[in-house]
Amino acid sequence: MRGPHNIWRLIRTGATFERTGAMGVALDAMQAPRNVRAAARVLGWPFRWLGYRGDPSLPPVTRAITALGPAYIKFGQILSTRPDVVGVELANQLSYLQDKLPPFPTDQARQMIEADLGRPVAGLFSEFSDPVAAASIAQVHRARLADGGRDVAVKVLRPGINAAFARDIDAFHFGANMIEMLSPATRRLRPRDVVAHFEGVVNGELDLRLEAASASLFAENTREDARFQVPAPQWNLCSRRVLTSDWAEGIPLGNVAAIRAAGHDTEALAERILQLFLSHALRDGFFHGDMHQGNLKVAPNGDLIAYDFGIMGEIDEYTRRIYAEILMGFIRRDYDMLAKVHFEAGYVPRDRDPAAFARALRAVGEPIFGADASQISMANLLGYLFEVTERFGMQTRTELILLQRTMVVVEGVARSLDPNLNIWKAARPVVEDYIKANLGPRALISDGQQIARTLQRAMPLMPRLLEDAIWRARHGSAQVERPQRDRFSWRSAAIGAAATAALSLALTALG
């Protein structure tokens, strides 16, 4: 349904950006082409008077986004994971975008809880507070379980949020199509894919059972991580619109003065945050994708507490190994190896010059390593790296975007606790341990065992597959169907026996 209402919504959006002064800031940050700027002005300037005024105390872009409502606030948060689209500076601003929406009435939240869980709130909780936090998609209440006296956090979706997001996402799709049509050069940044990614994230957040599942998996993965806590979901009190989890008691990580006053070691805490994030990303391939100060607390015993698992990142084993090699290449300042990894992974087109790419990577890394610890910045490195990859025709890697962006956010969080943190020194042991376990001789043996196990599972299929291959080789193509053979095949049995024997020998050698 991409009709006139989308044009009206985009006009209102452009008018709001014009009225708040955000239009020029956003276009400059994204280095928008002239024709895109012209189209934005056409949608904004003549209708400036139709735009929302917003909160004048906020920076222009934040002011415009918060004025436009929940979908735009959430889109701004997700877009903060795309510094390759909006630029590193604007992405940093968006990553700290605060939800300025008022809470909806507590009575309405109670009605939704009772409708979803099928019991009166008074029967579920002995205490139930007014909202303690209100975000773009949901709000949170503090409560106490009626049957155990334990404090819990009850998250409730905003009423009508599904329909509101559906309307705005439809307009976002329309706008992305217009951008690609007006400026083919922007297709490298894949604006339609950005909107599709946003839609997928939001759809996940609009079903709180999925967030509960993410919290449960994250808690299971990190159970053995020292000094780290994940509030567990209370599954019997969860539904599509309601998420109940253990209450996280602690000092918000943004309150550095209170953390120091409580006697916590901020330098050790900063290093732990960075190392935990890298461990989750490399070891588990499943990490918190929104790890800013608002989603982290320090417990009274000094443990780090993470919560709000609406945005989680996931990367496969192959991508983890590539990412580890890229990090280690920068840590060791081995730019030839770095270039080789990019080409082997297909991140850079093969028609480009590897030696020139290695020199460009050297220009990225050396200025950073020439600085003192307080100036070594992953944010700067990624900013330079985006420039280099654009020059060499590297396509946007959607599987790395959230990982890279979260790394920048985590760096900012860690530096707020310890401005002199050397992120490379902190990261090195985690990356080296991962490489030893996954890229060395032990990894070769492990990979061989996995291959052997896969072959073993496929062994019953092997005789038929081999016979089909022989048939097609003898008869020229698959156009001639091999006749079905229901009778016992001694040749198949012989092939299967030989393959099983070979597999047994392989497993013995690998074991």
Same domain, 426 and 466: no
Q: Which two tokens stand for residue 364?
A: 């990225």
Same domain, 348 and 272: yes
**Last residue of a domain, which of 408, 439, 470?**
439
343 burial (CB, 10 Å; 0-12 / 13-18 / 19+) is middle
Same domain, 193 and 307: no
Q: Could you tell me if residue 178 is inside a domain?
A: yes
Q: Could you tell me if residue 68 is inside a domain?
A: yes
Task: Quote the number of domains for the chain.
Answer: 3
Q: Could you tell me if residue 243 is inside a domain?
A: no
Task: In whole angstroms, give the CA distance from residue 404 to residue 508.
Answer: 41
Of 13, 29, 326, 280, the C-alpha closest to 168 is 13
Same domain, 375 and 410: yes
Q: Could you tell me if residue 285 is inside a domain?
A: yes
The catalytic site residues sit at 290
Same domain, 435 and 454: no
State the first-to-last Cα distance of the chain, in angstroms, to the nearest integer.
Answer: 58
Per DSSP, the chain holds a count of helices (H) and strands (E) of 23, 10
Same domain, 317 and 449: no
Give pLDDT tens digits along the chain (511 positions): 455 667 777 777 878 888 887 777 777 766 666 766 776 666 666 777 777 888 887 778 888 888 887 777 877 776 665 555 566 667 666 765 655 567 899 999 999 999 999 999 999 999 999 999 887 788 999 999 998 778 999 999 999 888 888 877 887 787 777 777 766 666 656 677 777 777 777 777 889 999 999 999 999 999 999 999 999 999 999 999 999 999 989 998 888 899 999 999 999 999 999 999 989 998 999 999 888 887 899 999 999 999 889 888 888 888 888 878 887 787 788 889 888 888 888 778 888 888 998 898 888 777 766 655 556 665 556 656 666 766 777 665 655 667 776 777 788 788 888 888 887 788 888 888 888 777 666 666 666 666 776 766 777 777 777 777 777 777 665 455 555 544 444 444 444 444 444 444 444 444 4
Q: Could you tell me if residue 111 is inside a domain?
A: no
The pLDDT value given to residue 349:
83
The residue behind tokens 């280690």 is 328
Same domain, 322 and 181: no
The CA distances from residue 92 to 22, 110, 157, 499, in Å, are 16, 36, 27, 56
Q: What is the DSSP string of 388-431?
A: HHHHTTPPP-HHHHHHHHHHHHHHHHHHHH-TT--HHHHHHHHH
Same domain, 421 and 294: yes
CA 210 to chain CA centroid, nearest Å: 15
Of 40, 23, 37, 28, the C-alpha closest to 87 is 28
The pLDDT value given to residue 398:
59
Q: Could you tell me if residue 421 is inside a domain?
A: yes
Same domain, 170 and 290: no
Give kind and range of the element (H or E) at residue 296: strand 296-298
Rounded to the nearest 10 degrees, the angle between the axes of helix 398-417 and helix 317-332 is 50
Same domain, 435 and 451: no
**Last residue of a domain, which of 412, 439, 466?**
439
Tell me the residue range of the domain where 371 lies: 251-439
Same domain, 72 and 172: yes
Phi, psi of 487 (to 5 degrees): -75, 160
CA dihedral 53, 57, 63, 66 (to 10 degrees): -90
The pLDDT value given to residue 401:
66
AA identity, residue 245: S
Same domain, 504 and 393: no
